[in-house]
Structure 1
């Protein structure tokens, strides 16, 4: 199974649970999972993270994502199928989105399209919570995934399934 990370996973982890300077083991673990081919970040999502916040020079996630070995480990080496992006947009959100709504979607349709390319072998990991009542561009990633038959999970489910621990290196060495 390949887990594809949404930008929200890394941003939320950095801001709330695993600050890079306090829990470096988490970030090393993600890199290790990338090296082993279990976790990847699609280019469009990578670029979203790489754009960074307004004060990117002081942002540790921005610095981390710029490291060549991190990029080599985590960047998904694949191009998105434009027809799948269109399908995600039309079937997952709406066929008649305005320009403002398309901008609001950001890069989520790309992420979901990578999952749709191999729905039995890929899982989208996002920090977004399901909100089935949302419509059009306000729909959440888990709901669009469900509508299109793409698996999705939250970051804590990923951590449990892939057994994150601050002592993950010890377990990996066994």
Structure 2
């Protein structure tokens, strides 16, 4: 099962899977959610909906279950991810930005649920100015993959 980073949806909309070019991608995501495989976290939902564009409308049209709000079950994971971020030598601004962003919730909720994170971010383990999702995932034992790896793993075909 997968938690999608906002950049997966935003980049798809703006580039290679635009709604008018590959509507089947969006139908596939909705079908995969119905099958219990694809979700976003509430923080990603809120980020996208604030855009007020076609992607915001698509996200709003998905069932409420598409967006996973943090629950009490996430407390230990949120604490673990926060402790890693605070104790890994990142600049204070990087930690603050990460803990206020959807990325923090994606990694923590994936840890709680045992889901893979789907992101377009690339790891940058030497960076101290920005915490990247792949590095946070690796630090706490969460699998991360690209959207294309997810599509291949799930046998997606858009014809």
User: Which band: TM-score by shorter chain?
Assistant: 0.7 to 0.9
2:79 matched to which residue of 1?
86
2:57 matched to which residue of 1?
63
Structure 1 residues 73 and 87, CA gap change in structure 2 (3 angstroms): closer
Give structure 2 stretches of 5+ with no counterpart: none
How many pairs were matched up? 154
RMSD of aligned Cα (Å): 2.0
Whether the 8 Å CA contact 1:5–1:124 is kept in 2: the answer is: yes
2:125 matched to which residue of 1?
132
- The structure number with the bigger radius of gyration is 1
Whether the 8 Å CA contact 1:32–1:73 is kept in 2: the answer is: no
Structure 1 residues 78 and 94, CA gap change in structure 2 (3 angstroms): closer
What is the distance in 2 between the residues matched to 1:16 and 1:62? 16
Q: TM-score, normalised by structure 2?
A: 0.86
1:172 matched to which residue of 2?
none
1:20 matched to which residue of 2?
19
Q: Secondary structure at the match of 1:41?
A: strand
Give structure 1 stretches of 5+ with no counterpart: 168-174
Q: 4+ runs of 1 displaced by more than 3 Å?
A: 95-98, 100-103
What is the distance in 2 between the residues matched to 1:72 and 1:32? 14
1:81-160 mapped onto 2 (5 Å cutoff): 81-91=74-84, 93-95=85-87, 98=92, 100-105=93-98, 106-119=101-114, 122-135=115-128, 138-160=130-152
Q: TM-score, normalised by structure 1?
A: 0.79
